[in-house]
Amino acid sequence: MNTYTVLIPAYCPGKGLIGLVEALKERNMECIVVNDGSPEEYDSVFQSVSDSAVVLAHEINKGKGAAMKTGFAYIRDHYNDCIVVTADADGQHLPVDIQHIAECAESAYGSLVLGTRSFKKEDVPFKSYYGNKITETVFRTFTGVHVHDTQTGLRAFHSSLIDTMLKVPGDRYEYEMNKLLRCVKEKIPFQETEITTVYEDNNSCSHFHPFRDSFLIYKQILRFGLSSIASFFVDLCAFEIFTLFCKGSTGILASNILARLISATFNYEINRKAVFNDQSTRKKSIMKYAALALTILACNTAILYLLTGILHMNPLFAKVLTEMILFIFSWTIQNKYIFTNHTERMVNQS
């Protein structure tokens, strides 16, 4: 039987953390608590758990992701062949569920086990219910993997995956989503097991900031959207300029091709550097990107013809719909198959 090691990142925790650690100790589970720069008035809580847990501390608040990395590094250096469980300090995770998910991870070597909450609208706070629904949809759209609870903090895995988890970028709440994305890229399987859904005082103890942390979670997709918009305007401006010198139907066709070449080059460089932070050489990605660009151009033409020529849809609406469809397709292909070394570089920058 493996050792069960529970990592609890904590910022301004309530006294419920004391009871949680004691209950886990009674179940023979090792506890690592990371004080993520909490003010001095919370020292008594951390002092109270120090007899039952290893307490690590950040001098300043660095974020949940940073606290988890500190804990992972400690576990890697002090424990061998153990099951690592991450749990929240805000009372959402019951000791029985923490033990259950550890047992699931023990029998699912090499997998990331997720404690999935049952999201019933009437029982879940507004921001938690809709936040999870949005991230569930976005995650499934861009990865093709369905995870019912993308925001769960109760997760477990064998310690052999710690090095992988330490390479995941992000210091705050975006780390949890990035961890899922990294597992998809590394082909680490997910296993979901249902846990008790607990929201104490309407989840008022949560330090999740809806706007700031949602931006961190979705920022790569937002960057991709902005780069697509910028490339569209580059394409439009270049087309207008070329048509000043190229007349007739042949000239329009030539202008369109030249404009596409310029905008595609612009889009490639922006996505490579600013969106996916890819560190591979251009030689590895540019040919794949060129093939994607040609495929998208062909699909664009075919879909537009289908919508306008056969279904007689309004041209402007058809253009917008086509671009939306191809936006999702393009992002997925670039993220999974073209700019495949972006995660490592993002780690070095974090």
Average of per-residue pLDDT across 173-178: 82
Q: Do the Cβ atoms of 199 and 152 come closer than 8 Å?
A: no
Write the DSSP assignment of 285-311 as a string of letters.
HHHHHHHHHHHHHHHHHHHHIIIIIIS
Name which residue leads in pLDDT, 81 or 349.
81
CA of residue 209 relative to chain centroid, distance: 16
Query: How many Å apart are CA 196 and CA 96, to the nearest integer?
Result: 9
**pTM (2 d.p.):** 0.64
Query: How many Å apart are CA 238 and CA 226, to the nearest integer?
Result: 18
Name which residue leads in pLDDT, 107 or 277.
107
Q: What share of the chain is helix, strand, coil (3-state, %, to 5)?
A: 60, 10, 25
The token duo for 118 is: 């049952």
First CA to last CA distance, the chain: 36
CATH 3.40.50.300 describes domain 3-208: no
Q: Do the Cβ atoms of 155 and 175 come closer than 8 Å?
A: no
Domain map of the chain by residue range?
A: 3-208, 219-349
User: So what's the pLDDT on residue 288?
Assistant: 77
Q: Do the Cβ atoms of 117 and 199 come closer than 8 Å?
A: no
User: So what's the pLDDT on residue 310?
Assistant: 79
Segment 237-271, tens digit of pLDDT: 877 787 777 766 566 556 766 777 888 788 777 76
Name which residue leads in pLDDT, 112 or 350.
112
Average of per-residue pLDDT across 273-286: 64
